[in-house]
Amino acid sequence: MGMLRDSFLRGPLTIFRTHAYFGNEKYWIEDISSPISYGEILTQILSCDIADYKRALHHYLRCMEKQEADSIVQAQEALFSEFCKLPLYNRIYTEKQNPYRSMKALYEEEGASEFAALLLKDSFSPRRYCQVLEDLEFIRDRYASFLRQMQSTQNSGKKKGQRKIPLAEQISKAELRNLLGNMNLEETVDPTAPSVTVQYVLRTTDAGEEIVEKLYFDRLLAFAYIELMRGMQKGFVPKCCLNCGRWFLQTPGMSFAYCDQIAPGETEKTCRDIGAVASFQEKVRSNEVWQIHQRAYKKYYARVLKKNMTKDDFLLWARDAEKLRDEALKQYEVVDDGQRRWIIHKFTQDLNMK
């Protein structure tokens, strides 16, 4: 399909333009009233299946190439149906807002062949649809790679109690700062800037009147770039789940490595549930203070099951044990091996004196 698509992309591309209103907390697509969280559409692009769109586009381009008047109308309708399912465009076009349906009704008054002939002469649609696919494939490859590199800095060695690494710091630690000025997220001498036009207008929001930026986009890639960068400025960023590989949107103040969707092979547990258990088990395996605490916890809980200890006494012990554990963990992290032996010995004694 690549060579066929390239042949339709040659020459100047007729601009397909949409616009969005960017506010302080949310943004809006065209005149649709439903607000969108920053990063939401990019997350959907990274997660969506584009196989049906690619198949419909391939069939449509073949009909155009061979000038098949008896198939082009159905091919166009099938392609536009798949186009309307894609992220961003599924918010703009609906069955009631289908320009090709209204065009078809107009031209079928004089005969279906007239409409088919019009489609076969259309030089705008093939290039636009090919450009959309090219942008989708690029975003799902290059933007996904950029975000995974960012995420790797947050996931490496973070311990309980440590601060969440800000997004700007993640970019710097991953040595990605030189990519930010390029819409293609590549380090080049002449970076590609998004083609946008901006205006400032008033828009009514739930909080009242707000001054918003009205940006016009020529390409899906330009939209994804602006949404990503503006989202990261505000703390929104798509992340790849470390359990299932699906993408989810991290909101400001949050720091999850796992999504909240049902995990593969499970009926109720989410990836986040499984990730929490895995993280806890790894924490216990890698720290002697946690190992001692867990052994003591199981020993005292067994006494409750055997009726040798009341539940109230156990809860009192568990509360005191947590305080002792947290204090031992603080000391354990900042001393040498010799002092750690003493901390472990004292912590063991204190737990078993309760």
pLDDT the model gives residue 337? 73
Q: Give the rounded percent of residues in the chain with a pLDDT score beyond 90.
A: 35
Quick one: pLDDT band at residue 235, thresholds 50, 70, 90? Answer: very high
The Cα 218–Cα 210 span in angstroms is: 25
Split at pLDDT 50, 70, 90, the class of 141 is very high
Pairing of strands 208-217, 237-240: unpaired
What's the rounded Cα separation, in Å, for the pair 291 and 288? 5
Local confidence band at 281 (pLDDT 50, 70, 90 cut-offs): low
- Between 157 and 181, residue with greater pLDDT: 181
Name which of 28-42, 43-57, 91-105, 332-346 the model is least confident about. 91-105
| Mean pLDDT of the residues in the chain | 83
Structure tokens at 90: 């599924």
Which tops the pLDDT comparison, 319 or 53? Answer: 53
pLDDT digits (tens, 9 = 90+) for 50-92: 999 999 999 999 999 999 988 988 898 899 889 989 999 998 8
Higher per-residue confidence, 216 vs 100: 216
Range with the lowest mean pLDDT among 51-65, 96-110, 329-343? 96-110
Share of the chain above pLDDT 70, in %: 84
Among 95-99, 139-143, 248-252, 272-276, the least confident range = 95-99
In 3D space, the residue among 147, 137, 129, 130 whose CA is nearest the CA of residue 50 turns out to be: 137
- Identify the pLDDT of residue 100: 59
pLDDT band, very low/low/confident/very high, at 42 (cuts 50, 70, 90): very high
Q: What single-letter DSSP state applies at residue 354?
A: -
Q: For 164-212, how does the pLDDT look when each residue is reduced to its tens digit (9 = 90+)?
A: 678 888 898 888 999 999 999 988 878 899 888 999 999 988 778 999 9
Question: Is-contact 45 140, C-beta < 8 A?
Answer: yes
- What pLDDT does residue 106 have? 57
Contact between 78 and 59 (Cβ < 8 Å): yes
pLDDT at 123 over 60: yes
How many other C-beta atoms are found inside a 10 Å radius of the C-beta of residue 139?
Answer: 21
Q: Which residues of 315-327 are buried (b: 16+ CB within 10 A; e: fewer)?
A: eebeeebeebbee
Single out the residue of 132, 127, 150, 156 nearest to residue 12, CA to CA.
127
Task: Identify the pLDDT of residue 331.
Answer: 82
